Structure 1
Amino acid sequence: MELRVTATTLEVLHGGKRVAAHPLNARRGAHTTTPEHMPASHRAHLQWTPAKLIAWAERIGAATAAVVRWQMEHRAHPEQGYRSCLGLMRLGRQYGGDRLEAACARAQSIRSPHYKSIASILRSGLDQRPLAAPVAVQATLPLHENVRGPGYYH
């Protein structure tokens, strides 16, 4: 295999014959991808956009939409969240929208809006249990002469 690089093109040669050619991006560090040279799984992602994924999630419910938005916002590039979002779609087909919505709500309540967490919640059936109300914890200060309490700082 041999590569031929010009100012505008990268060519791949095999046995002296060109088997592929890619245009080079003029921006430093940028890349170009020819869809027909992508793996089939990556090509399938081309039809999706963040807006389409969020619109799908909103039809399921507010918690699912929040998880999908989180996936898009917490990645260097929104496309990196597509696999997780497509996985959520698969979970929705497998378990139903109501269960997916409940699992996303639970995942948010434990601050873990990740695909793996949501899949685990669904597998274990935790989505079908009520969310526990947050317990108010009343902190009591130990009695000691060095503990000043909040009144000291006013």
Structure 2
Amino acid sequence: MTKYREILRLHSLGFTQRNIMQSCGVAQKTVVRVLRRANELTITWPLDETITDAVLEGMMFPKADKDISTKRKSDFVYIHKELLKNGVGKKLLWTEYMEDCRLNGEQPLMYSQFCYYIQQDEQKRRATMHINRKPGEQVEIDWAGDPRT
């Protein structure tokens, strides 16, 4: 997380943007954005102790609701059943989805987003889980051979 409080404190002490960037471990563009936004909102350094970095981020850079989408999601149960059939692919299902969206006056997803959401749905249904391991991490080798022989 960006250290908004630290950026404002160092700026109030007269540090250069480059020094603030190196001290906080952020890009210079981040320092410029934070200082510009703090100036717009007239936020100055002696901040109240209750204002944390998370609160500052909410004040300075409020996020729009990403859950509200104007594009229609596809029916994943139908897609899952159709993909099990021979000769049916994602491209064919996407074209059907596009036609259905156009007939209903809705905005469709692009093909890459369509495939991404299908992949996310498939991972929810998947019964296996991938465990990341370094090569040879759990390999036990008996170089001496079988001790009973």
TM-score when normalising by structure 2: 0.23
Higher RCO, Cα 8 Å, sep 6+: 2
Tell which structure's C-alpha radius of gyration is larger: 2
Q: Which has the higher strand share?
A: 1
